[in-house]
């Protein structure tokens, strides 16, 4: 019988090394995040894996799951503790190694595996860890699943089993090949690719080069100390660094990827950041010109232009405003069979033909470059300035 997790244990003690610690507040609405060592220990992560495996069985899903980890000094050890718990509950685990979060989502389709558990703290400061989970591709957990997972883990109500483990070598090559299988851009774009020393730096530059961009790399070397700023394309410090590089190199645009690669921020050729909801309007204009009467889903923090823009109205575009949160947005975009979903935080969800319904910063970046490719002679700033004038503030948090 695996011990019941404790909410708090003192480090450097017998209890800390022999009992699981899981702080209850780490279970959030649609994922889980903890300060590693202070709020969860490795046995606590193992308990989380056992709880997740138990929940998958309870949901009636096959106990087969993809897992990967982001580039932090402790992420691999956390992933292996999670794997131990998943296997103990009877899961077959497919390990894709070091990855961005959308690579794990892609692996669900590529390997035909129903469930996912990606070890990542996204753009959070060092010290944080977390897991993004799902049992029904391309969706991730919402409040119901997360609340039940919390009950199972904290109550140690685990299902016992005998799982198995498979490692998939060189899996990133399969992900990159899938992203770059489209025709190359006709227009030569000079693009600043900024990764804040996060995991996306291992993949984003070569993807953008493969579609035909001239890439100016900015902080693409992997460094889990994040020496300059956190890799967060909503953070003004990162956006200003991209601005400076765009102006210095006379680039056509700047693209900034967050720590786990599922979001993309945009800076135009004048060095001005374009908030993600405005980028969404620009993409919606481009996409609805190709797909008349297209449906879109946007979160309630987004600009009202999705409902009032005369170009979108003329092209018959229909937009539904929905609850903020990547899990809610992903689910609604999938349920309504919308062409795309846009969240102001930068999570974009593209259904076929552009994507598979999950958020991927590189799919967003490719869509933005293809939009420019279809607008010969026009710059990113001109496309932005063609929108009706509105005002908004950057995301602010305490």
Alpha-carbon distance of 329 to 358, in angstroms, equals 10
Report domain extents, the chain.
14-170, 180-385
Residues of the chain with pLDDT under 70: 395
- Rg for the chain (alpha carbons), in Å? 21
Which pLDDT belongs to residue 123? 82
Q: What is the rounded CA–CA span in Å between residue 299 and residue 341?
A: 8
The whole-model pTM stands at 0.96
In this structure, whether the domain defined by 180-385 belongs to CATH 3.40.50.720 is answered with no
User: What pLDDT sits at residue 337?
Assistant: 96
154: tokens are 């904290």
What is the predicted pLDDT for the residue at 392? 79
* Residue 1 burial (C-beta neighbours within 10 Å; 0-12, 13-18, 19+): exposed
User: What is the number of other CB atoms lying within 10 angstroms of the CB of residue 223?
Assistant: 14
Alpha-carbon span 22 to 51, nearest angstrom: 12
Cβ atoms 200, 258 nearer than 8 A: yes
Is 124:196 a contact under the CB 8 Å cutoff? no
Confirm whether 14-170 and 180-385 share one CATH topology.
yes
Active-site residues, by number, are 122
Which one, of 117, 245, 253, lies nearest residue 189 by Cα?
253
Q: How many beta carbons lie within 10 A of that of residue 308, not counting itself?
A: 12
Q: What share of the chain is helix, strand, coil (3-state, %, to 5)?
A: 35, 20, 45
Token representation of residue 18: 């022999």
Q: Count the alpha carbons within 13 Å of 374 in the hemisphere toward its beta carbon.
A: 15
Residue 393 confidence (pLDDT): 76
The phi and psi torsions of 13 (rounded to 5 degrees) equal: -130, 165
Encode burial over 70-98: b for 16+ CB neighbours within 10 A, e otherwise: bbbebbebbbbbbbbbbbbbbbbbbbbbb
Q: Are the C-beta atoms of residues 351 and 338 closer than 8 Å to each other?
A: yes
DSSP codes, 305-342: HHHH-HHHHHTT-EEEEE-SSHHHHHHHHHHTT-SEEE
Distance CA 70, CA 360 (A): 15
Q: Which of 127, 124, 131, 126 is closest to 82 using CA atoms? A: 131
What is the longest distance spanned by two Cα atoms in the chain?
Answer: 68
**How far apart (Å, rounded) are the C-alpha atoms in residues 139 and 287?**
23
If we measure between CA atoms, which residue out of 160, 238, 163 comes closest to residue 197?
Answer: 238
What is the DSSP secondary structure assignment for residue 124, as one 8-state letter? Answer: P
Kindly provide the residue ranges of all beta strands, DSSP E only, lying in 219-289, ordered along the sequence.
253-257, 264-267, 273-274
Q: 14-170 in CATH: which number?
A: 3.40.120.10
Q: Locate tokens 């992203």: which residue?
A: 179
Q: Residue 286 and residue 48: Cα distance in Å, rounded?
A: 43
H-run or E-run covering 216 = strand 214-218
Rounded to a whole number of angstroms, the distance between the first and last alpha carbons of the chain is 41
Residue 379 to residue 233: CA distance in whole angstroms:
21
The per-residue pLDDT for 277 is 94
pLDDT of residue 326: 85
Determine contact, residues 195/175, Cβ cutoff 8 Å: no
Q: pLDDT tens for residues 357-395?
A: 999 999 999 999 999 999 999 999 999 999 999 887 776
Residue range 11-62, pLDDT digits in tens: 999 999 999 999 999 999 999 999 999 999 999 999 999 999 999 999 999 9
Could you give the 3-state DSSP secondary structure of residue 119?
A: strand
In a 13 Å sphere around the CA of 102, the CA atoms on its Cβ side amount to 30
């Amino acid at each position: 019988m695996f011990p019941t997790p404790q909410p708090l244990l003192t480090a450097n003690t017998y209890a800390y090394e022999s009992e699981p610690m899981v702080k209850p507040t780490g279970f959030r609405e649609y994922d889980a995040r903890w300060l590693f060592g202070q709020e969860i220990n490795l046995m606590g992560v193992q308990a989380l894996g056992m709880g997740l495996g138990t929940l998958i069985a309870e949901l009636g899903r096959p106990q087969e799951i993809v897992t990967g980890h982001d580039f932090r000094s402790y992420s691999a050890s956390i992933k292996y503790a999670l794997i131990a718990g998943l296997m103990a509950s009877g899961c077959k685990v497919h390990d894709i190694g070091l990855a961005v979060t959308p690579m794990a989502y892609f692996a669900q389709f590529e390997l035909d595996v129903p469930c996912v558990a990606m070890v990542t703290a996204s753009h959070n400061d060092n010290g944080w860890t977390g897991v993004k989970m799902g049992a029904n591709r391309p969706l991730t957990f919402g409040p119901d699943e997360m609340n039940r997972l919390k009950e199972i883990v904290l109550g140690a109500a685990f299902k016992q089993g005998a799982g198995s483990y498979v490692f998939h070598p060189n899996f990133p090559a399969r992900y990159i090949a899938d992203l770059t299988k489209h025709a190359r851009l006709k227009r030569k774009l000079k693009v600043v690719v900024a990764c804040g020393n996060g995991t996306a730096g291992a993949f984003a530059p070569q993807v953008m080069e493969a579609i035909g961009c001239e890439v100016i790399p900015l902080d693409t070397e992997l460094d889990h100390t994040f020496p300059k700023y956190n890799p967060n394309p909503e953070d003004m410090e990162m956006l200003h660094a991209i601005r400076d590089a765009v102006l210095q190199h006379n680039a056509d645009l700047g693209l900034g990827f967050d720590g786990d690669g599922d979001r993309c921020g945009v800076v135009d050729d004048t060095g001005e950041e374009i908030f993600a909801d405005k980028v969404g309007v620009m993409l919606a204009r481009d996409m609805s010109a190709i797909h008349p009467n297209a449906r879109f889903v946007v979160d309630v923090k987004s600009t009202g232009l999705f409902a009032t823009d005369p170009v979108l109205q003329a092209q018959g575009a229909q937009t539904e405003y929905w609850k903020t949160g990547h899990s809610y947005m992903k689910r609604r975009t999938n349920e309504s069979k919308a062409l795309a979903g846009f969240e102001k935080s930068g999570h974009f969800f593209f259904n076929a033909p552009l994507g598979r319904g999950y958020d991927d910063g590189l799919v967003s970046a490719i869509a933005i470059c293809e939009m420019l490719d279809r607008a010969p002679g026009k710059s990113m700033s001109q496309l932005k300035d063609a929108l009706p004038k509105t005002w908004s503030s950057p995301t602010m948090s305490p």
